[in-house]
Amino acid sequence: MGKLAGKVAIVTGASRGLGKAIAILFSREGASVIVAARSEDTKSVPGTIHETAEAIRAEGGTAMAVRCDVTNGEEVKGLAQRALDEFGQIDVLVNNAGGPYQYEKLETYPMWRLDKALALNVKGVFMCTQAALPTMIKQQRGCIINLSSGAAQTFRYPGDTVYGMTKAAVERFSLGLAREVREHNISVVAVQPGAVKTEGAEVLYPKGFDWTGWQEPLDAAKPFVWLACQTAETFTMRVVRSPDFETVWP
């Protein structure tokens, strides 16, 4: 029996990359997975929610693809309702959907891009969490894992001020929420995944790029299985780095 047998997990941004890898590993450990993202058709970057769900089902797992724009409140509510209608519970929420919206110096950063970055990286995490919380509180159990970035605490790339700001907000949100919901046995953590060789990264970087030190998505996803098994008593209110799993933490 898998470590997540009997659990239901929602993974946002699961059409490709780290989100897809997390969804696949959760399924391999017995979870029923709601694969959520906007991507229903392959465009500039490979990967769709349907391809992820099909990959899970091909291995004998249970998956449901749900088209969801995490910046749209009605779609987010619908995502949580679809999970309840299909499986009757929500045990794990992975807020993986996010993006940099192009790095640029603050003096020339357009307001429309700031609005998009905040909506995707901060408001999206807030709304998905708010949609799943009532069910977890009723169950008196649950686990919320929010994707952050090393940019929240260090300077990673030129012009990453706005992106770093949004991820710092995610970390503070995670720590504060963990305090609020501890009494309901809900674990909340933020994870900095490190450098991951995703489909998006391969499109972004030029041919011949040196991928030394970058993780494959399935390797970067392994700590998420352990985190999804935790409770408010065992592991919560933490910001951790995925590459440090089993060395620096737990």
Residue 170's H or E segment, with its range, is helix 161-181
> Is the residue at 109 inside a domain?
yes
Helices 49-58/17-28 angle, 10° precision: 30
Domain-located, residue 21: yes
The helix/strand/coil state of 60 is coil
Nearest C-alpha neighbor of 146 from the set 84, 80, 238, 216: 238
In-domain check, residue 250: no
Residue 3 falls inside a structural domain: no
In this structure, are residues 67 and 35 in contact, taking their beta carbons and an 8 Å threshold?
A: no
In a domain, 2, yes or no: no
The pLDDT, as a whole number, for residue 111 is 95
Question: Helix (H, G, I), strand (E, B), or coil: what is residue 114?
Answer: helix
- pLDDT-based confidence at 41, cuts 50/70/90? low
The stretch 139-162 carries a mean pLDDT of: 94
pLDDT-based confidence at residue 189 (cuts at 50, 70, 90): very high
Asked, for residue 130, whether it belongs to a domain, the answer is yes
Structure token digits, residue 118? 């905040």
Predicted local confidence at residue 43, as pLDDT: 65
pLDDT tens for each residue of 73-83: 999 999 999 99
Catalytic residue set = 163
Number of independent structural domains in the chain: 1
Is position 249 within any domain?
Answer: no
User: What does the mean pLDDT of the chain come to?
Assistant: 95
The span from the CA of 124 to the CA of 121, in Å, is 6
Q: Is the confidence at residue 149, as pLDDT, over 80?
A: yes
Q: What is the pLDDT of residues 94-113, one digit of tens each?
A: 999 998 878 899 999 999 99
Q: 162 is in which domain, residue-wise?
A: 8-244
Strand partners, 92: 9, 143
44 burial (CB, 10 Å; 0-12 / 13-18 / 19+) is exposed
Is the confidence at residue 209, as pLDDT, over 70? yes
**CATH number, position 217:** 3.40.50.720
Q: Taking the model in full, what pTM does it have?
A: 0.96
